[in-house]
Amino acid sequence: MLGSLVLIWIFIFLLFLFIKTQRPKNFPPGPWPVPIFGNLFQLNMTDPLKDYERLAERYGNVYSLYIGGTPAVVLTGFKAVKEALVTKGADFSGRPQNVLMSHLTQGNGVVFLDYGPAWKEHRRFSLTTLRNFGMGKRSMEDRILGEIEHLVARLEKRGSINPETLFHKVASNIIYLVLYGTRLDYEDETLQEYFSHYDELAKVANGPWGMIYDMVPIVRALPLPFKKAFTHFEAIKAMIASMVRKHKTSRIPGEPENLVDCYLDELDKGANNGSHFNDADLVRTIMDLHGGGTETTSNTLLTAFLYLMTKPDIQERCQKEIDEVLEGKAHASFEDRHKMPYTHAVIHESQRVASTFPLSVPHCTTRDTELMGYSIPKGTLIIPNLLSVLNEEDQWKFPHEFNPANFLNEQGQFEKHEAFLPFSAGPRVCLGEGLARMELFHILVTLLHRFQFFWPEDAGEPDYTPVFGVSLKPKPYRMGVRLRQPAREM
């Protein structure tokens, strides 16, 4: 009798799971899910990008997957991504609240803050503050150029370097200057500790255990490796909170010189006007801007120099153009990019090929909506495959190779492409796009003007296959560096 009851309950449970994983009416098609696990077993957990491409070929540019028992929609190609993120941006600008990153952030910050008044207030503040960094004593451009001089000094002492660590520290210091108005020495223990926690957090969040956490909610209470993500996240939060407390003692209220100053001024004003600003969101906003700003710039630089070293004709043509524009000048201004169409194209091509956030940050629908003829219920997880847009054969002249001609017209002038979406698009487009563009221009132009970069003879064959994560990056490599003759004559 007892055995029969157990079997009945198991049958009822499995029937419930089967019904729960039935696709809603007129929902995008996709592979059949397994109860509890969804489509977990149909994805390579260390690098699912080829699986996403394979499924799009079978089911179309708008198809569905099950993340555990939760339906998700994957967007492939420019047309689908543009319709969702731009044309119907408000409908697709939510953030899922039942994945690892949303549980880590606890709804604070600006990147994973759900769509609504608090997010709009924080996004408006962040965009305005970043845009206005001509305020105070130093402009944004001055801060970037100042940090580049530290980079140049380091490169002048080396014949061969590991660029991953160095570029990461440079990008980190630039955003640190924006946030706090100061920089850290490249060997600073605080910087090393921060990177250590961030790297360990990224390994979990970007790897198989992060995918298991998202796709199999039933295991979240178990003492599995994804628990380490929470430990490292809390350590980073504590470090930032400590830096903010120190910063409060040195600032002059009402005279902001960096983003933290501006936020603290908003906190002072917001006590009586219903503001959504608070200490927890300050810490998370700092984490969002520092983490995102560091990863995108660093990994794009790594991609750029990998190709510049292994395609010396492209490097030489950039240097010729830079030398002509900078003749007699100590350094470039950001406006000089309009006089450097080829170099400008190389920078954009580096961003296209790098595709640093291939699957963007996950979105979710804020209301019942439609997309390309399909019905998408409110709260559906949306995965925009930005890599598919940046490699789409119908959009690019040379979609599968590094070629600056993707951004040049027949007259050799720079031509921005509508499908160039490395920072995503619509209301949730990356906050730091403007800062990243300025950083990439100044770092690449300054370094190519002063140095020659080459692939070391003992380094073996270059491997262009990126390492998958929430952000893509090239496999580790070493970079040969030597001073150029024009730099010695300056």
* Cα 392 from Cα 383, distance rounded (Å): 17
Strands (DSSP E) contained in 309-393 are 363-364, 369-371, 374-376, 381-385
Local structure of residue 325 (DSSP, 8 states) = H
Q: What is the mean pLDDT of the chain?
A: 87
- pLDDT (tens digit per residue) in 104-116: 888 778 888 888 8
Cα-Cα-Cα-Cα dihedral of 69, 357, 51, 385, to 10°?
80
* Cα 154 from Cα 151, distance rounded (Å): 5
Tell me the sheet residues that pair with 38: 34, 67
- pLDDT (tens digit per residue) in 314-354: 999 999 999 999 988 888 999 999 999 999 999 999 999 99
Task: Tell me the percentage of the chain whose pLDDT exceeds 70.
Answer: 92
* Cα 436 from Cα 453, distance rounded (Å): 22
**Can you tell me the mean pLDDT for 13-36?**
73
If pLDDT is split at 50, 70 and 90, which confidence band does 412 have? very high
If pLDDT is split at 50, 70 and 90, which confidence band does 487 have? very low
- pLDDT (tens digit per residue) in 395-407: 999 999 999 999 9
> What pLDDT score does 140 carry?
82
- pLDDT (tens digit per residue) in 237-252: 999 999 899 888 888 8
∠ CA 465-470-473, nearest 5°, is: 30
> Would the CA dihedral through 204, 210, 211, 217 be positive or negative?
positive
Tell me the sheet residues that pair with 70: 67
* Cα 383 from Cα 256, distance rounded (Å): 38
Instruction: Report DSSP letters for 29-94, one per residue.
Output: P-PPPBTTTBTGGGS-SS--HHHHHHHHHHH-SEEEEEETTEEEEEEESHHHHHIIIIITGGGG-B
Domain ranges of the chain: 10-388+420-489
Helices (H), 207-340: 208-215, 227-250, 259-270, 279-310, 312-325
- pLDDT (tens digit per residue) in 56-92: 999 999 999 998 888 999 999 999 999 999 999 999 9
| pTM of this prediction exceeds 0.85 | yes
pLDDT > 70? residue 447: yes
CA neighbours closer than 13 Å in the CB half-sphere of residue 268: 13
> What pLDDT score does 101 carry?
84
Q: Which of 197-206, 257-266, 306-315 has the lowest mean pLDDT?
A: 197-206
pLDDT > 70? residue 424: yes
If pLDDT is split at 50, 70 and 90, which confidence band does 274 have? low
- Please say whether the beta carbons of 42 and 66 come within 8 A: no
CA-closest candidate to residue 294, choices 159, 194, 217: 194
- Phi and psi at 136, nearest 5°, equal 70, -150
**Pairing mode of beta strands 369-371, 451-454:** unpaired
> What pLDDT score does 133 carry?
63
Which one of 1.10.3720.10, 3.40.720.10, 1.25.40.10, 1.10.630.10 gives the CATH number of domain 10-388+420-489? 1.10.630.10
* Cα 331 from Cα 147, distance rounded (Å): 13
